[in-house]
Amino acid sequence: MDLKRLFYGSREVFGLDIGSSYVKAVQLRHDEHGYHVITAGLTAISGDNKDKPAGISEVVRAIRRCMKSAQIKTKNAVCGVSGPNVALRRFRFPSVGVEEVESAVLSEAQQVCPFEEGQYIVDYQLFTNNTGGDLSEAKNPQDRGAIRGVLAAATMGVIGHKSQVVKAASLNCVLIDVDGLALLNCFVECEKESRGEPTGVVCVGSKYTNFAILGSDGVPFVRDIPHAADEIVTDIAGELKVSLQAVRDMAAGKSDGDVKGFEDSMKTAAGAMTSDIARTLRYYSAQEGRKVRKIYICGGFAGAKGFVELLNSQLPVEAVIWNPFNKMHFEGGQGGAKLVKEQGSRLALAAGLAMRTI
């Protein structure tokens, strides 16, 4: 299934991942040999108080610094959204005319999306030729000829806020994607040999953990877990009675600190997140009849000291750090090459956004 468009929309674009702590930007070029990295940037969002959320002006300054350091010339940004104000649902309709599909999708969205009527935007994608995904083997005769696909909905508030921030940075937000779908598209493009059985991608951000599963039939399953890096860091800081920055330094391996205490505290602090991941794995297995056996970890917290080892000890699947840039060619300078080699897992979402076409 090709999920190349969602929400608004070929111009030259770059992927812009605006997080709570960092801004990430990636620009790619695609040809018959695969994807080439033109440039990439990673910039911290610095505020007056590192323990409090940054304001819009601070985020805008970080975007501009990131653009400058990466030397990105185009102003056409592809951004992503996730969290409780975004919903992704599959749908199946009896065989209907092409002109009726859109109204059927909108009607379905009204029934399944937990948002106030009239306060959200909907887009959808049909499974390719309606023979891909779970349509490939229609066991029930009445399923044959059915229309199936996936719809995405996001509140006007979350889309408006993202667009406002990008516009304030003097950029054009030409397309808004769903974070989980962007991650899966990046996975499909970079890990073709890993296809064949359900595989999960877990992106651990500051506020949310995006858990996206690509089924063996190519059908996506996406869930945003409300437990992520900020919660883990805050809980560890409280347990060890140290500052948030001290915990971040220990996680990054920049401080010896109380390493044993840090690792013990992380097991407890990450408990809610690992429990949600395990619960989601069980749900997916029960619904699809197939088990996920491997998950690829990316995002800002993926490289935290002992984190992937913790996941392997707590989850019934193999967890590995994922750097999609290992499967790409780099065309930029040495600084950018070093960045994608050492910090590529943090830039995975930005890479997925950069792969979108409009």
- Residue ranges of E strands in the chain: 14-18, 22-31, 34-44, 76-81, 86-93, 120-126, 147-155, 172-178, 199-204, 209-214, 220-225, 294-298, 318-321, 329-330
Residues 141, 146: Cα–Cα separation, whole Å = 10
Stretch 119-147: mean pLDDT: 63
What six digits make up the tokens of 49? 């108080």
Angle between helices 259-269 and 307-314 (to 10 degrees): 50
CATH number of 14-227+270-354: 3.30.420.380
The 294-298 sheet, strands edge to edge? 220-225, 209-214, 199-204, 294-298, 318-321
Q: What is the mean pLDDT of the chain?
A: 88
- Residue 5 scores a pLDDT above 80: no
pLDDT tens, residue by residue, 198-209: 999 999 999 999
Q: CA-CA distances (angstroms) from residue 159 to 5, 52, 67, 74, 122? A: 15, 23, 21, 21, 11
Confidence of residue 146 (pLDDT cuts 50, 70, 90): confident
Predicted confidence at residue 132, as pLDDT, reads 40
Q: Give me the mean pLDDT over the 249-270 stretch.
A: 87
Contact 25, 19 (CB under 8 A): no
More confident residue, 50 or 147: 147
Q: Report the pLDDT averaged over residues 350-357.
A: 94
* pLDDT average, residue stretch 38-58: 81
pLDDT the model gives residue 89 = 92
| Predicted local distance difference test score (pLDDT) of residue 10 | 52
Q: In this model, does residue 6 exceed pLDDT 60?
A: no
Tokens representing residue 103 in the block: 């109204």
Two tokens at 340?
């994608």
Q: Quick one: pLDDT band at residue 343, thresholds 50, 70, 90?
A: very high
pLDDT for residue 138 is more than 50: no
Mean local confidence (pLDDT), 292-305: 96
Element spanning 63, H or E = helix 56-70
pTM score, two decimals? 0.89
> What is residue 324's predicted lDDT score, i.e. its pLDDT?
96
Task: Give mean pLDDT, residues 160-189.
Answer: 96
Domains of the chain, residue spans? 14-227+270-354, 232-267
Indicate the pLDDT class of residue 193, thresholds 50, 70 and 90: low
Cα dist. 300→265, 297, 321, 335, 350 in Å?
19, 10, 11, 19, 12
Given a cut of 80, is residue 242 above it in pLDDT?
yes
Model confidence at 168: pLDDT above 70 = yes
pLDDT bracket for residue 33 (50, 70, 90): confident
Q: CA 273 from chain center: how many Å?
A: 16
Coil, strand or helix at 255: coil
Q: What is the mean pLDDT of residues 242-261?
A: 85
Could you tell me the sign of the dihedral formed by the alpha carbons of 58, 61, 66, 72, in that order? positive
Please tell me the predicted confidence (pLDDT) of residue 131: 41
As a whole number of angstroms, the distance between CA 54 and CA 242 comes to: 21
Q: What is the C-alpha to C-alpha distance for residues 42 and 63, in angstroms, rounded to an integer?
A: 9
Neighbours of 195 (CB within 10 A): 12
Comparison of pLDDT for 63 and 98, the residue scoring more: 63
Position 47 scores a pLDDT of 61
Model confidence at 223, pLDDT cuts 50, 70, 90, reads very high
By the 8 A CB rule, do 89 and 151 touch?
yes
Q: Would you state the pLDDT for residue 167?
A: 97
Q: Which of 224, 222, 202 is nearest to 300 (CA)?
A: 202
